Amino acid sequence: MSLWGNIMLRLKDTGLILGLALLLCACEDPGTIGIDVDKTNLDFNVAYKQFNLPASLVQIDSIPTSNTERILAGRYEDQEFGSIESIGYSQLFLSGAVTIDPSAIYDSLILKLKIDYAHGTDIKSQQTLNVHRMEEDIIDNAIYYSFNTFDYSENPIGGASFYYELEDDETIEFDSTLRVPMSDDLGLELLEKLLDEDDTTFNSIGNWIDYFKGIVLVAGDEYQTVTGFDMNDERTEMILYYHYLNFDGTDVFSTLNFPARNAWSSSSFEYDRSGTAISSVVDFKTEYNATDEMIYMQSGTGLMVKIDFSEFISFSDTIQNMIINRGDLTLGEVNPYTTYIIPPNSLVHYITDSTNQRLRSEEGVFRAIQQDSPLVDPTDVRAPLEATFDEDTQAYSDPISGHLQALYNGSIPETSVLTYPNFLNLTTTFDQFLLNPQNITLEVYYSTASTASDSN
C-alpha cells in the first residue's frame, strides 16, 4: 500500500475520500506539486508550506559508556565547544589455561592498543599516553556512565609517546596498533607469580581480576586529540614475553596474552565550556540559547538539540481535513568542519515534553519519530528514524510525513523532540556540529478538500 493509501485509511473517519495518489516533486508552486492535470478538474487542493522550526540547547546526563567496545583517551581544546578530556578504563582477561616452563626468563611486557577513532586537529603532533593500574573494583552487571571515574595508581605502569600513523598527509591509518612498553617491575612480578606453584592468581579469571583490576589510559602532557581504542579487537591485549631453555640447549621464545576482548571497559568524560557562547549551558534538562544564537550539538558531552513543532501545529489547526502528502525535516547545511571534527553520522529524534526527558512507551522503550513507511505506525516505537548525514548537502534531511499526520490527528500530543546522535556516536565519540537555526526547516506538502467538492 502506498503512503497515500495508508493515510487514506487512517483518515477514513473524517469523511474525506480522495481517489487520486499524488506523485510529489520539490516544486514550491502549490498548484503544480506532483500534478500533471488541470487543477480545476480536481475536487481537492494541493498546497505547500515551509516552517523554520525553533530550536534550543539541552544538556543531558547519564550517558552510558560501559562495554561499548571503544574507549576514549585524550584531550582537545575547541574554540566553539570548549575543552574536553576523556579517560579510558578496561579490564584484561586471561587467554585460556595458564602453563609456563619452570625455567622461564622474563623478556618484556607490552600493551597493544588498536586505534579506531580520533577527534581533533593536531593529528601530526606528538601524543603521549600513560597507562595506570586500576585500583577500584567493578560491580558485575552495573551500568557505568560518562561521569563515573575509578581510582587508579598515581604512578604510571606504562606509557608511550607516539605519532598517528598516516596513510597520506591528512589521513590517519585506523588499522594501526599502538605499542606501549609496560613496567618491567610489573612484568617480573607476573612471571614470579606464574612460577610460584602455590600462587592462585592465575587459577581463575576472578582471582586474576582481584589481583589486577585493569588498566587506565590517561593523556599525558603532549596530547592534543582524543583517541579511540577498540577494546574488542583481538590485537588489543597485554603481552608478557619470556623465553626458556629447550632440551637441546636452544632458547624458546613464548608469550602469555591478556586480551581486552569481551572484558569490561568504560570511559569518563569531562568538559569545560568557559569563555564560549555555550558557557551558560550548565543544568541538566534545561533549555538554553547560545549567546551567538547558533545551534550546538556534541556527542559525549551530552549537548543536544530540542526542536519545537508548535508552529506546524498552530498552522495545521487552521486547516480542516488536512492530509500530509509529504513532510521533510532538515537540519543543515551545518557549518564547515574538519576531517577529524565531524558531524555525527546519524541522528534520532526522541519525543519529549516540557520536562525535556525522553518519553517512553508502556513497554519502557524510548519513543521517537518513526521511519516514514506505510508499514510503520508513527505512534509505534519499533522503527525509529535515523536521519543520516548527507555529505553532498551537508545536512540531515528525511521525510516524517506519518509523524506530522499523527501530530495533526492528535494521536501524538507532544510537539517537541530531543535530537540525539545515534547510540554509538553518543557514547563513543565527540562528533559535533554547529548550525545556523535558520537551517532547521520543515517543508510540508498537503491536500485539503476544495470548496466545489464540499458543496456537492
In the predicted structure, residue 425 carries a pLDDT above the cut 50: yes
Question: Which string of DSSP letters, residue by residue, matches 232-268?
Answer: TSTT-EEEEEEEEE-TTS-EEEEEEEEE-TTS-EEEE
What are the boundaries of each domain within the chain?
3-60+284-455, 70-271
352 half-sphere exposure, CB direction, 13 A CA radius: 23
Q: Interior CA angle at 325 toward 323 and 331, to 5°?
A: 115
- As a 3-state breakdown, the chain gives helix, strand, coil percent values, each rounded to 5, of 15, 40, 50
Mean pLDDT of the chain: 90
What's the mean pLDDT in 223-251?
A: 94
pLDDT digits (tens, 9 = 90+) for 282-291: 999 999 999 9
Instruction: Read off the C-alpha cell for 226.
Output: 582524543
Confidence of residue 34 (pLDDT cuts 50, 70, 90): very low
pLDDT digits (tens, 9 = 90+) for 250-281: 999 999 999 999 999 999 999 999 999 999 99
Residue 138: φ, ψ to 5°: -100, 135
Could you tell me if 71 and 92 are in contact, meaning their C-beta atoms sit under 8 angstroms apart? Answer: no
**Residue of 74, 85, 258 whose CA lies nearest to 162:** 74
For residues 273 and 288, what is the distance between their CA atoms, to the nearest angstrom?
14
Unique residue bearing C-alpha cell 506546524? 312
pLDDT recorded at residue 38? 52
Q: CB neighbours (10 Å) of residue 321?
A: 15
| Residues forming beta bridges with residue 288, ordered by sequence position | 57
| Residues forming beta bridges with residue 443, ordered by sequence position | 50, 328
In the predicted structure, residue 408 carries a pLDDT above the cut 60: yes
In the predicted structure, residue 149 carries a pLDDT above the cut 50: yes
pLDDT recorded at residue 200? 94
% of residues, the chain, pLDDT over 90: 84
Instruction: Read off the C-alpha cell for 221.
Output: 602532557
Question: Which string of DSSP letters, residue by residue, matches 387-407?
Answer: EEEETTTTEEEEE-HHHHHHH
Q: What is the pTM of this model?
A: 0.88
**Longest pairwise C-alpha distance within the chain:** 106
164 burial level (CB within 10 Å; 0-12, 13-18, 19+): buried
pLDDT recorded at residue 142? 94
For residues 288 and 278, what is the distance between their CA atoms, to the nearest angstrom?
8
Pairing of strands 44-52, 440-449: antiparallel
Task: Specify the higher pLDDT residue, 404 or 38.
Answer: 404
For residues 215 and 361, what is the distance between their CA atoms, to the nearest angstrom?
39
For residues 262 and 268, what is the distance between their CA atoms, to the nearest angstrom?
19
pLDDT digits (tens, 9 = 90+) for 305-329: 999 999 999 999 999 999 999 999 9
In the predicted structure, residue 299 carries a pLDDT above the cut 70: yes
Confidence of residue 222 (pLDDT cuts 50, 70, 90): confident
CA dist list (Å): 249 to 38, 98, 100, 245, 281:
97, 24, 17, 6, 69
Task: Specify the higher pLDDT residue, 40 or 427.
Answer: 427
For residues 430 and 72, what is the distance between their CA atoms, to the nearest angstrom?
9
Could you tell me if 149 and 217 are in contact, meaning their C-beta atoms sit under 8 angstroms apart? Answer: no
pLDDT recorded at residue 74? 97
Question: Which string of DSSP letters, residue by residue, matches 18-45?
Answer: --------S---TTTTT--S-GGG-SEE
Confidence of residue 41 (pLDDT cuts 50, 70, 90): low
Q: Is the peptide bond between 333 and the residue preceding it cis, with omega within 30 degrees of 0? A: yes
pLDDT digits (tens, 9 = 90+) for 154-165: 999 999 999 999
pLDDT recorded at residue 323? 96
Unique residue bearing C-alpha cell 637441546? 248
| Residues forming beta bridges with residue 426, ordered by sequence position | none
In the predicted structure, residue 40 carries a pLDDT above the cut 70: no
pLDDT recorded at residue 39? 52
Confidence of residue 42 (pLDDT cuts 50, 70, 90): low
